[in-house]
Structure 1
Amino acid sequence: MLLLLLFGMALAWFLQKKLYQKNWQKNLRIQVSFQDSAIYEGEESTLKEVVVNDKLLPIPALELGISMSRNLEFDREAKANASITDQSYKRDVFSFLFHQQVTRTLPFQAKKRGFYEITGAHAVAYDLFFREGLYSDYPQQTQMYVYPRQVDTARIQMICRAVSGMVLSRNRLYEDPFEFSGIRDYRKEDPMNRINWKSSARMGDLMVNQFDATTSVEVTVLLDIEDANILREEAQVEESIRITSSLAARMVKNKMNLWVKSNAKDEETGEELRVHLAAGAGKTAELNRKLACVQLGGNLTGSAEFLHKEAEKELTGHTYVVVSKNRTDEVREALHLLSGAQNQVLWVIPYLPGEEVPSEQNRAYTAIGWEVKPWK
């Protein structure tokens, strides 16, 4: 009797083993996806896991493993089943009856800009006796951009005011209908649509709106990411990228035409990064995608050479904003050349807390120190 029982158990184990080996993957679907296609540094998002067992065969235990960059940090609860090395490895266990779907969302915070993707998931299923793991890989295709964090509005506004002052002082030949600067007395050559009727009623005389010129010129932001020092200064370079992103968003919103140029490589073309943003146009997402993909280091054009190449174009009456941490004599000389032909140059210099505040006195350009403040 005992032998029959043991034989029956062995036969049952063998049959269910073969059954699971043959059928556990049938109608088993696994999908891993980022909730958002793009977020900013410091923002939170979620990773969604959807597992469907659409068959009559139950799966007592299914271990799902995925790996993604440790720059995407899971929250405390989701981190419980994660191990972190150069990547963050996440393992979750599911249990299925027949025709069942389970969905889980895993919150995380983006700690660093970049382009992140998950290309595969690894599944391990167990039979009814939990004696043998059955392995399989499930290709995935989900990706997300983490844009450079936008810096404090009040701080970036300081740079915008400096740039606007340069632009407005240089060119008042063409009025910009978006840049209201006050009212004045009516003149017979003024069109009727310029009359400010409320002010006219209050003043007792016809008054008209007057505007400043900003869109009649173009501003170029030059982003320098060279970091050739023995001790790397990644914090200043990353802040330079954030300043560029934030400044571009604000200037385009303020109806300025803008070029962003850098000695960073464009990951799509392999050439140096070049993006044109028309006044008011919604192309800041394109710029942020390119900035998210910028890789530090590598074979880059040096800071001074990068500025020299721009100066060789010999533009006249142009406005430049140079964002660079590199305070070398060669860079200063290049800035001096860049300011020729009545160009105006604003140099934004990121520096770390505790470092000497940059003090640059030069008639050829204006320099502004920018302290890199920590963030969580």
Structure 2
Amino acid sequence: MGIHWFILSAVAVLIIQWQLFKRLGMKKVHYSRNFNTTHCFEGDRIEMVEKLANHSMLPLPWLRVESQLHTGLRFDSEFNFDVSQGQFYQNHKSLFSLMGYKQLTRRHTVQCVQRGCYRLTSASLTSGDLFGLHKAWMNVPLQEQLIVYPKPVDRSEIHLPSNSWQGDISVKRWIVEDPFYITGVRDYQQGDPLKAINWNATARAGKLQVHQRDYTADYRLMVVLNVEDHAGMWDTVNDTETIEQGIRYAAGIIQYASEQGLEVGFAANGHDLDVPGRPVHVGTGSGHEHFMATLEQMSRLVIARAVPFDTLLEQMAEELDARCDLLVVSAFMSDKINAVMERIRSEGHGAHWMPIDAAKGAA
């Protein structure tokens, strides 16, 4: 009789614990995951923090947390968790065991090896009873976002064109003609825009006369990035690392220009993460806040062509009014791109090409 009672008691315990875990197992389990910062630079190390709380007297013999993360976030170690890595995404698994009315916090050191906008949207939790008779699954929504800024190349790696603004710097400011300060008229010179012609003075003098403008330190620069990696490209960018280096190079130029007090903007024929099909455009501005906002937009840039680069330049040429220089950061130069740049120059603006190859190895 003793063995029978033992078997019956064991079966009863199995059934009772199975029912308990089935009804109560994950009802009072709370899980959260977040980064210890919301913004950082490419190459920085940050922490990803996991918190698990069991608000029930029922213990958790085991609980597995699974989620997908981008490979741009690299874990320094794999203690208490497992990472299965693919080309673009990695599957992250954490294992927990927790007694009743206890909570646990784990901190993982993560290196941000690539700029981008990383979002934690959900994690799946799987738990079970002591004997593997029951498994419960739950999806936990997450709303965490990490902005990883591109790392600007060092100032020593920036080689501006010899015929550009660096020869006009005075007390760390660009000195150029200001369209609002008119002091008289002068004879027309090759390269003067048609809109600068003073027709009344031309009629009096019998030859073309243009407005004579005074000089000021106010000036604008637009850095324009081409996400196409070769001429004749269709939709797919093959050499993404070259374009990533171009982004770092553009960031370095914008940082340098901002430090000199120059109004600077950014545009690219790639698109924003949340706005597919529309080229990225950040208007000119100055100051630290504008610089950081530009870096954030560069973090959100998707390396996929929204419009051909020459089309983007044509659109920008139509919108240029006051004096502005365009610095084209591109892996190549084509006849179409060069033609638009010549048009921009003929209208009194500057247009210069910076090959991305010049920045390789700078980061």
- Does the TM-score normalized on the shorter chain lie above 0.5? yes
Partner of 2:279: 272
Q: What does the per-residue CA deviation read over 1:315-366, in whole Å, with 9 as the maximum and x for residues that have no partner?
A: 4643221111122222222222221233222321112xxxxxxxxxxxxxxx
Greater relative CO (CA pairs within 8 A, separation 6+): 2
Partner of 2:6: 5
Structure 1 or 2: more strand by fraction: 2
Q: Does 1:117 align with 2:123?
A: no
Q: CA deviation at 1:38?
A: 1.8
Q: d(CA) in 1 for partners of 2:12 and 2:252?
A: 68
Percentage identity across aligned positions? 19
Aligned length: 317
Q: Does 1:297 align with 2:299?
A: no
RMSD across aligned positions (CA): 2.7
Give the letter for the 1:373 counterpart.
G
Q: d(CA) in 1 for partners of 2:139 and 2:315?
A: 50
Q: Does 1:372 align with 2:360?
A: yes
Q: d(CA) in 1 for partners of 2:308 and 2:131?
A: 64
The structure-2 alpha-carbon separation of the partners of 1:130 and 1:50, relative to structure 1 and needing over 3 Å to count, comes to same
Q: d(CA) in 1 for partners of 2:80 and 2:300?
A: 26
Please identify, of 104-113 and 337-346, the stretch whose mean Cα deviation from structure 2 is larger. Answer: 337-346
Q: d(CA) in 2 for partners of 1:80 and 1:16?
A: 28
Q: d(CA) in 2 for partners of 1:141 and 1:295?
A: 21
Q: d(CA) in 2 for partners of 1:319 and 1:67?
A: 43
Q: CA deviation at 1:172?
A: 7.2
Gaps in structure 1 of 5+ consecutive residues: 175-211, 352-369
Pairing partner for 1:329 from 320, 325, 335: 335
Partner of 2:67: 66
The structure-2 alpha-carbon separation of the partners of 1:304 and 1:78, relative to structure 1 and needing over 3 Å to count, comes to farther
Q: d(CA) in 2 for partners of 1:52 and 1:23?
A: 14
1:42–1:112 contact (8 Å) kept in structure 2 = yes
Q: Does 1:346 align with 2:322?
A: no
| Paired residue secondary structure (2:100) | coil
Q: d(CA) in 1 for partners of 2:249 and 2:94?
A: 39
Please identify, of 264-273 and 235-244, the stretch whose mean Cα deviation from structure 2 is larger. Answer: 264-273
The equivalences for 1:44-55 within 5 A come to 44-55=45-56
Give the letter for the 1:285 counterpart.
M
Give the letter for the 2:68 counterpart.
S
2:50–2:107 contact (8 Å) kept in structure 1 = yes
Give the letter for the 1:276 counterpart.
G
Partner of 1:129: 131
Q: What does the per-residue CA deviation read over 1:47-85, in whole Å, with 9 as the maximum and x for residues that have no partner?
A: 111000122111122122222112211113359611113
Partner of 2:146: 144
The equivalences for 1:78-93 within 5 A come to 78=79, 81-85=82-86, 86-93=88-95
Q: CA deviation at 1:111?
A: 2.3
Q: CA deviation at 1:118?
A: 1.5
Pairing partner for 1:282 from 289, 304, 307: 289
1:113–1:292 contact (8 Å) kept in structure 2 = yes
Q: d(CA) in 2 for partners of 1:113 and 1:127?
A: 42
* TM-score, structure 1 as length reference: 0.76
Give the letter for the 1:282 counterpart.
E
Q: d(CA) in 2 for partners of 1:41 and 1:314?
A: 33
Gaps in structure 2 of 5+ consecutive residues: 180-214
Partner of 1:308: 314
| Paired residue secondary structure (1:222) | strand
Please identify, of 144-153 and 29-38, the stretch whose mean Cα deviation from structure 2 is larger. Answer: 144-153
1:314–1:341 contact (8 Å) kept in structure 2 = no
Q: What does the per-residue CA deviation read over 1:296-332, in whole Å, with 9 as the maximum and x for residues that have no partner?
A: 224x322223223333446464322111112222222
The structure-2 alpha-carbon separation of the partners of 1:78 and 1:163, relative to structure 1 and needing over 3 Å to count, comes to farther
Give the letter for the 1:326 counterpart.
F
